[in-house]
Structure 1
Amino acid sequence: MKLLHHAFRLYVEPDGLEASVAFYEQLQGMPCERRIPFPDLGIEVAVCGAFIVLAGTDKALQPFRSASALLVVDDLDATIAWARDRGAEVLHGPQDAPGGRNATVRNPDGLVAEYYQSAAA
């Protein structure tokens, strides 16, 4: 079990996406790595270094808002078992997700995070 990457999750209205992306590009001195539209969900995701910006209406973002971080791990099942043994609560998943699998977990201190394992891992 290993933490490979982590990022903060931010939620903005669709018309605020460009300004948020520009801010985090300038803050980190690096361009946005990728933008992923999810038209069926009504959201667009921008990955900017240590920040993941999700843009959509309040209604479209509602299912995602509980998580404030993304933790990319090498073994989702082992990580969830480890976290549960230490008092974490799995709120949703594990399940298939774009490019891999994920679960939403409330850590013992209350932080809600999406734990994600890439299919390539």
Structure 2
Amino acid sequence: MKLCAQLTLALIWGATVSGAAQADISSNLAVGAQYDTSHVYVAPVDVDSFVKSFTATFGGQSTPQVVVNVLPVPSSTSSQLIQTPVGTVSLFGFKTPIPFPFGSERNGYLVKDMDIAIAEAKKYGADVIVHNFPDPIGRDAVIQWPGGINMQLYWHTKSPSYATFQTTPENRVYLSEVRADAFIKAFTGFSAGTVVADEKHLNGGVVGEPSKTIRRVKIESAFGKMVVFVTDGHLPYPYGRETTGYEVSDLSSTLSKAKDSGAELLVEPKDEPGRKSAMVSFPGGYVAEIHQQVAAK
């Protein structure tokens, strides 16, 4: 394990890993964007209706439901993976109270080496709020980035093999101007990501504030896509409640499927720069942004 050896020697001898070696370590943390799962917690009574609505909207299917303890403390939840061509959901229906801080993590990133991933996250400014622990199929940890953004890192004992997405979903992050740059620097360092757009004077209509100007930063890495919204926090519902944006080829058709399967349309389709976007709430209360790319006029 070349990467592990580089990091281990640096830790033992107090050496500085070279810039090239450090970039190599960071770029090799991710397994692939199709292993980025949005974490969704719903009441047990809503689990089946959520699965039905989500798959009817986006296609795909769910793995068999199991009831297990997936946490490092006593608990019980139904657990299943919903895989669609435009995004994957880890669905939990807890039958016991949810121990803190679980439920606040927005997504899970599959990493190739848990020890290296945690060391890298800490190096770039993340706090480890749940130390790594075993689950039925691997190991997990929960980290927190500047600005209070919680994410799970996970590793599987047996490497999974998922089909690549037809379109890669967006991890949608809302931050204040005080912490945005710290978060962006930390996350791009950890993920070896690239800022592909930094729109400093964007019309706030994209987050329900058309009379204001906001900043929007787009990041891409081997973990997938991320969009960072920098706002004053005066967000009308449901903006800020969504953690994931799903790209589809036909927004109108997708929204019809969503409504027909029990989802609620929260924000009517509207034109934004480069896309047409809407917001829906699936059974159980999971809020999602759905968009279709459009050609620039």
Same fold (TM over 0.5): yes
Report Cα offsets for 1:19-40 as digits up to 9, x if no partner: 1111221232121111123155
1:105 to 272, 280, 283: 280
SS in 2 for 1:5: coil
Match of 2:254 in 1: 79
Deviation (angstroms), 1:100: 2.0
Match of 2:217 in 1: 46
Matched to 1:108, the amino acid is P
2:186 to 23, 27, 42: 23
Greater Cα radius of gyration, structure 1 or 2: 2
RCO higher in structure (CA 8 A, sep ≥6): 1
User: Would the aligned equivalents of 1:24 and 1:48 in 2 still touch at CA under 8 Å?
Assistant: no
TM-score, length-scaled by structure 1: 0.85
Deviation (angstroms), 1:15: 2.1
How many residues are treated as equivalent by the alignment? 118
SS in 2 for 1:78: helix
User: Would the aligned equivalents of 1:45 and 1:55 in 2 still touch at CA under 8 Å?
Assistant: yes
Deviation (angstroms), 1:110: 1.9
Matched to 1:17, the amino acid is A
Q: Percent identity?
A: 25
2:170 to 7, 16, 19: 7
- Unpaired stretches in structure 2, ≥5 consecutive residues: 1-57, 59-84, 87-166, 204-210
RMSD: 1.8
Report Cα offsets for 1:66-113 as digits up to 9, x if no partner: 322111111101111111122111101112122121111112242211
Deviation (angstroms), 1:48: 1.3
Matched to 1:42, the amino acid is T
SS in 2 for 1:66: coil
Superposed structure 1 runs of 4+ greater than 2 Å apart: 39-42
Matched to 1:118, the amino acid is Q
TM-score, length-scaled by structure 2: 0.37
1:57 aligns with 2:220: no
CA–CA distance in 2 between the matches of 1:116 and 1:23? 28
